[in-house]
Amino acid sequence: MSTSPRQFSLGAFLMQTGHHIAGWRHPEAQADAGSNFRHYVDLARKAEAAKFDAIFLADAVGVRSTDLPSLARTARSDHFEPLTLLAALAAVTERIGLIATVSTSFNEPFNVARKFASLDQISGGRSGWNLVTSSGGAEARNFNRETHFDHALRYERAAEFHDVVTGLWDSWEEDSFVRDKPSGIYLDTDRLHVLGHKGTHFQVQGPLNVNRSPQGRPVVVQAGASDDGRDLAARTAEVIFVAHQTFDEARAFATDIERRLAQHGRTRDAVKIMPGIFPVIGRTQAEAEEKFEQLQSLVDPVVGLALLGTVLGDIDLSGHPIDGPVPELPETNGPRSRQQLLVDLARRDGLTIRQLYLRIAGARGHQQVVGTPALIADQLQAWFEAGAADGFNIMAPWFPGGLDDFIALVLPELRRRGLFRTEYQGRTLREHLGLRKPAHPKSAPAARHATPLAA
């Protein structure tokens, strides 16, 4: 029996110039990061050298804000399409996982299945799909719609979308492509499985024209925390990326997910819960707070107000006093869980609109920690050991310096405590995360696999 201490997973959540809304204005930030491939190569290689499980890319199929005064003052309007970027990064890295966000709202299952299967082949089994439903109003207008699908319908479509994608990933069993030159047999058609899906939202024949993934299937990540989102995660996800403000929220979420997993015949160890953490790190507490205040001082009120309105679900707050309380808000057809999280935060801490947008200027509702390496390690360790998290997505305030700080200052402390690896033990994303490689649901007996095909 192993006596090694349990260790948690770490993802490097890469967002252009950094996660703080004013991060691009930091003197050391790479201001052109949204169009600078070499910037991402450097970040990916740093994260791999530090033995992170994966790099993680968010995405939106449109400019995130339609408020032109705010858009002119933020670095959120230009960024690479994530699968294109990760395919390029796969060629300049060897081990680190590659997770991309792709929405089910404005894509087709066959295309998504094919792209991730291809990325998995290119990378040697390192890809992950962050399954989301789109919620930004500007996105819908880029795809022949004035508004999004209703919230419940979005998740209904997403569930079927997931089933089609994973079904397509199971088009081929292991070793289907024998490529035997003497016999002239290229593939064993007995190991081919045509999907033939006809559902409420999609009709997809298949099979997929990409071989089976080196890790069985790409890893499925899910990032919704509404009631519908939790149900989808419990049924489909292998990693859950989530935002929490407090330890109690994080622990309650983990307990709720475990209950929902059981309803779908799954166990808690089948899923890794990885909250986002926004760390501002100093060798002393005073240094960390000084770094944070430097960033906060760069937030233009126009930008802060627009950010808050977007995160709340495209809510226009311009008619309310900026130093007054957050008003009662209408139910949004956008990200409901994030809206509720922020309203609860404002009510609990008595925050004004200005104070709330400053509170989320870096973390957008994720946990924010400003302090020394020991203080940050203490929090990560407490959440992990209490079962509130299995790992964390690190959201650096600005790039590259915020990631450099975490690697140089916090990782040594985590390793001293035995909480994070010093070397990779495997080559695939599943191996890094400690997730099993799924067997093909219709795999033939091993004995048949061992029998060569007749000439």
- Residue 140's pLDDT is 75
For strand 54-57 and strand 239-242, is the pairing parallel, antiparallel, or unpaired? unpaired
DSSP 188-238: -GGGB----EE-SS-EE----SSPPBTTBSPEEEE---SHHHHHHHHHH-S
- Listed in sequence order, the residues at least 6 apart from 451 whose beta carbon sits closer than 8 Å to its beta carbon are none
For strand 127-132 and strand 219-222, is the pairing parallel, antiparallel, or unpaired? parallel
- Delineate the domains of the chain, giving CATH numbers in brackets: 9-148+159-167+212-285+363-442 (3.20.20.30), 300-360 (no CATH)
pLDDT in tens, 181-215: 999 999 999 999 999 999 999 999 999 999 999 99
To the nearest 10°, report the CA torsion of 242, 333, 133, 358: -40
| Of the candidates 232, 182, 195, the residue with the CA atom closest to the CA atom of residue 455 | 182
- Residue 450's pLDDT is 32
34 neighbors 74 (Cβ within 8 angstroms): no
**Which tokens sit at 171?**
């088009």
pTM score, whole prediction: 0.90
- Residue 444's pLDDT is 52
322 neighbors 352 (Cβ within 8 angstroms): yes
**Which tokens sit at 281?**
């790190």
- Residue 2's pLDDT is 43
| CA gap 234, 222 in Å, rounded | 9
- Residue 306's pLDDT is 87
- Residue 334's pLDDT is 59
Task: Count CA atoms closer than 13 A to 451's CA, side-chain side.
Answer: 9
| CA gap 316, 306 in Å, rounded | 8
pLDDT in tens, 137-146: 677 778 777 7
In which residue ranges of the chain is pLDDT below 70?
Answer: 1-4, 64-66, 136-137, 148, 332-336, 444-455
The DSSP letter of residue 361 is T
211 neighbors 135 (Cβ within 8 angstroms): no
Phi-psi category of residue 193: left, alpha or beta, with phi > 0 → left and psi -120 to 50 → alpha: beta
- Residue 449's pLDDT is 37
| Of the candidates 248, 242, 238, 239, the residue with the CA atom closest to the CA atom of residue 226 | 242
- Residue 405's pLDDT is 98
Q: In the chain, what percentage of residues exceed pLDDT 70?
A: 94
| CA gap 448, 96 in Å, rounded | 35
DSSP 33-97: GGG-HHHHHHHHHHHHHTT-SEEEE---SS-S---HHHHTT-S-S----HHHHHHHHHTT-SS-E
